[in-house]
Amino acid sequence: MGKPLDPQHVAIIMDGNGRWAERRGLPRGFGHRAGVEALRRIARHSAALGIRYLTVYAFSTENWKRPRGEVNLLIGLLREYFQKTIAELHEMRVRVRVLGEMAPFPSDVRRLAESARELTGLNDGLRLQIALNYGGRAEILRAAQNLAGQALRGAIDPAEIDEDCLARHLDTAGLPDPEVIIRTSGESRLSNFLLWQAAYAEFVVVEECWPDFDEKSLENALAEYRRRERRFGAVRRKK
């Protein structure tokens, strides 16, 4: 309790690509492309700062509502990201995996995500989670269905399902909860990101759009986190 140390787990809602492009009179796709560059930069800098876990929200369960052209462009960028960036991440000893349900993505993209996980699975550096077709509600629902199935088969006793047990059935099984969630582009909402895991995360909103979020922006956001006092429901300790 009290003043936070450096966070182990940083989560980022990478928002504002579209507005970044629109403000420059460019199609939204340019913003998404610049957003991929920002992610490369921030993954590199997170590793350099010694952050253990970085989780980024790249595509939500709700983002399928966007125009087909934009969805296809995002899928294309994702394919390109896996093809071009995995070697670089592997070299930095980053361990990559996806959170969310990959089934609706094209099979080659699913294979790329899977081979990225396999290639980097033994790396001991930064652990990078990319949330794709991810929604906090869908994730909790999948865990509930899984546990209900186990209970029905008699494999577990419903009375023994506690918070740790539920957490082990989420996509983030094995990861500590994020201490801080950063959202870019000035929006202050979770948009269905890490609903369970965010229970006591510090929420840091930054005004910059995601493509403008750079090394300095990350350091400023971490400094903001360090100024917070985390009480976890208890009362402040007397000095």
Catalytic positions are 15, 63
Minimum Å gap between C-beta 49 and Mg ion is 26
Minimum Å gap between C-beta 16 and Mg ion is 6
Q: Which stretch binds Mg ion (CB under 5 A): 1-9, 15-23, 63-71, 197-205?
A: 15-23
Closest-by-Cβ residue to ligand IPE is 18
Cβ contacts of residue 57 below 8 Å, gap of 6+? Answer: 11, 12, 13, 14, 131, 134, 191, 193
Nearest residue (CB) to ligand IPE, 7 versus 16: 16
Minimum Å gap between C-beta 66 and ligand IPE is 8
Amino acid identity for residue 233 in this structure? G
Radius of gyration, alpha carbons of the chain: 18
CB of 116 closer than 8 Å to CB of 85: no
Query: Total residues contacting Mg ion (rule CB under 5 A)?
Result: 1
| Residue numbers at the binding site for ligand IPE (CB under 6 A) | 13-19, 57-60, 63, 74, 185, 187, 189, 191
Nearest residue (CB) to Mg ion, 149 versus 186: 186
Number of Cβ within 10 Å of residue 117's Cβ equals 14
177 binds Mg ion (CB under 5 A): no
Using the CB atoms, write b or e for 44-58: b if 16+ within 10 Å. bbbbebebbbbbbbb
Q: Judged by CB under 5 A, which of 7, 10, 15, 21 binds Mg ion?
A: 15
Chain positions contacting Mg ion, by CB under 5 A:
15
